[in-house]
A and B are shown apart, each in its own frame.
Chain A
Amino acid sequence: MKPLHFLDPYLPQLKICSACGLCLFSCPVFGVTGLETDGPRGRLMLLRAFAAGKIAPAMIVEALARCLLCGRCESACPSQIPLERIFFAARFALADQLPVSRRRRFLARLLSSWPGALDFLQPPVRFLTDYLGYKMGRKKVFLPAFQPFARRSAEKAGGVLLFSGCLTRRIFPRVGTAALKALGLSGLTVLTPPELVCCGRPLAAQGDRKGLLKALRTNLRVIAALEFDWLTSPCPACLRTMLEIWPEMEGLSGTEREQLNKLQDRIIDPYILLARYLPSAAAPEGRIYWQRPCLLDDVACQSALRLLGSLPEQKEPPVCCGAPLQCLDLKPAPADSPKLALRKAGAPSLAVGLADLLRSLTGSAEYIVTACPGCMLALEQHITVPVRHLVEILALRSPRP
């Protein structure tokens, strides 16, 4: 058995790990189950054995699929092993073994190749769910009321390109509207080209390299035709994908690679921009629980917290919402399985285990503030406390006199 070539560039890095275990503390999945195979160290050990041809891929697929790809372990690793990239590469290498249903794969591809199709599909699905009482079995169906946020074209060259991301565009259009407003309040010109497709993160999580490359190419083509100073998004997952996964992609032409390199320097978190330009205001009232998105980096997080005002001290590291689990079809572990948190008897799945933890932390809060539509989706599914995106709060500020 030979290791698949996606892992080849990382083979020396796999060997560096001294198994010190400092990554364990940062891993949200290990935090719930406490199992070695649910921590970055265990996953890396399994990958190391797989790369050496010692074990069959089936042995590591589950451990790999339970990784949330949040990248916290990478920032915690003192040996600076690019863990997040290694786990993505492993998913590419084991794409055909990952538990992804056809329906989910189809939806991810649709979002990245023909997102307009969903605009047509939305009214009938809405009709089915609302008027015929058809239950989708979840609190939130994937296609909510169709209310695309206002598209504003650039009045002059320059300004900010707002990459809305699928979740903002399809499920939380209010976040997109608020982002437009907050950037507008800051005096910035905003571009929101409707031709942009999915950033490709769900495809990467499903190991679909071809689909990801296609999405990247489409986006690059659209972006290259525009003039702007910064590219930003209310979704940190989109930004992280652009910064970390896009440059790793092979198969781009010379021009495309050049366009991508040019783009990299202009990608910025919205909170860094807003902290610079948004008029200041008093901190919002009420007891807030700040759900730090795993994919929001430290600098952006500091800016976000500055914008939000003073907050009570919270547990570090924060608990992940579990949204990335929705990219795959993980089977819930049976009730007597060690895969469950041993002390959290009754939690039917990892997502519920994470939600239980979050519920215990957010109990006394009046509302939860986060900076990621993915977190919003997962939190709304499991928690009754209202959830708001940070840009929604910032959009309420009064304009500069």
Chain B
Amino acid sequence: MNLSFDEQQEMMRKSIRDFLEDHYPVSKTRVFTEEDQEMDLKLWKGIADLGITGILIQEEYGGLGLTPVDQLVIQEEMGRYLTPAPVKVNALASYLLNNASNVEDYREKLMEIAEGKSICTIGLLERSGKWDQPSTNVKQNAGSLLLNGTKIGVSFAAMSHDVLVSAIDEQGKVGLYLVPLEEEGVSCRMVKTVDATLPWYEVTFQNVRLPQESKLIDGVKSLFETCIQVGSVFTCAESLGGMERILKLTNEYAKERIQFGKPIGSFQAIKHKLADMLVNIERAKALIYYASLEFVEKVDTAALSIASAKILTADSYYSVVREGIQIHGGMGFSWEHDMHLYLRRSTVNQSEFGDPGQHKKVMRKELGLEEIKDTISATIVS
């Protein structure tokens, strides 16, 4: 039992941080948001050169065969620097492909992802606002699959080669499908969001014809559920990195900013806010690690713990960014200060891979505290 990263994981963190500090600090992300949001290929090449695009891919396919817990380190750094690159979705997609029963079908794809030559993104969110209930559908047609529907929160779609899409089949079962973005019938449009560091696209599938092996075959566990769960902990880790940077900036500011002849950080009102920021961060951190470990070690309460972590982290990020802006005073509300970039990201992270409402439903189910109408419908179904 041990809930801290080991030396090797910390070394990986350091190499990522050094790279981002030198080549892509937040000031550069800012330029990205103010220009045309074209992904910097040099940035992606740098990320690939760090050897982190294949960490969740088994060694046989050119990866490192590590676990989502290792990926947390990377996502913390991505969230700290708000790095505008599809690291999270690409890693998640690689993990899902690698865990499909028909992984052999994706051998080539996985090798390309491991090398950083191919990027795969994820499409879950629809206009209904749901991440977990797709209306995008797939039908059998003349020996192949026909995909129809629209996803609205597909990050970095224009820079990606493929997208993993959640869709419902004719039996009413939800699954994941690998779709090349250049396939006929796929169209892609950028949608403006509150967070320009993370370009989102609307991707429409109109009678897209796919081979049968596009469907990821579940093992013991549903890959769609895995997608929501692992996506959630990765998002939490990003939030953690963001919160840590906010605290760092705010703590420095509180020590430098002089009012009434003293640093404002010497006033108890400010001290206690900063202390609470740290409490929020440490609490979320422990829970994120704990929940991720439960997932990796297949503990039966993992779904409950991940939902708990997602809710708690969303709330923590909100509080930390709120106090960060407040302590910075007028500076914190200015466009030129980084604080609003984190405020924007916190808004997206709260929702990505399921908003608190969705995760609360999971918690209610796992704790046996469902709404009456849910328990009745569950009884009718069974």
Q: Do A and B come from one complex?
A: no
Write the residues of chain B forming the contact surface with A, with a CB cutoff of 8 angstroms: none
Write the residues of chain A forming the contact surface with B, with a CB cutoff of 8 angstroms: none
